[in-house]
Amino acid sequence: MNIAATSRGGSSSSVLPWLGIAVVVILIDQFTKALILGDFQLGESRTVNPFFNVVRVHNTGAAFSFLAGASGWQRWFFVGLGAAATAFIVWLLLRHGGQRLFSFALALILGGAVGNVIDRLLHGYVVDFIQVHYGDAYFPSFNVADSAITVGAALLILDELLRMRRGR
């Protein structure tokens, strides 16, 4: 057992459930993307209800298509960034695996990051397919990985707020 990890509220054995959650996120993400790639042409959209469409979009950039218009170097930049984030998150999980909300949030972010890195490695872009809109106002399309990252980030904020409240 890692003494340093135990003194910080976790142990290396407690990382396994969190890695399992990340793997589930990756599997769901990749399965849904495979369905879209198999059933939709690029740009094809199907209305589900008045505020939600399923659409096939290829995003060579990051969130909100950041750097999508770059000359191709961004693919490897985002792969490297995802690899670095993965290593850092696993390190955090090894040190703090006993902190449930914190670790759950990190597991969601890890699964989402790896899901999008897989897309970049396989296709050179991220497959997005969830499109939310209100009238003519469209939110940028996203996917399961992006959703996991967003929920994980919100849970990290909640975890910190709760930690601050307990500290009073």
pLDDT tens digits, one per residue of 14-70: 899 999 999 999 999 999 999 999 999 999 999 999 999 999 999 876 665 555 555
Please report whether residue 150 resides in a domain: yes
Given 29, 39, 119, 128, which residue is catalytic?
128
65 within some domain: yes
Order of strands across the sheet that contains 126-134:
45-49, 52-59, 126-134, 137-138
Residue 5 falls inside a structural domain: no
Q: What are the respective helix, strand and coil percentages of the chain, to the nearest 5?
A: 65, 15, 20
Q: How many domains does the chain have?
A: 1
140 lies in some domain: yes
Beta-carbon count within 10 A of 51 CB: 12
pTM of the model: 0.86
**Considering the chain, what percentage of its residues have pLDDT values greater than 90?**
69
Percent of the chain residues past pLDDT 70, beyond the cut: 83
Q: Would you say residue 2 lies in a domain?
A: no
Residue 136 annotated in active site = no
Rounded-to-integer distance, Cα 30 and Cα 122, Å: 11
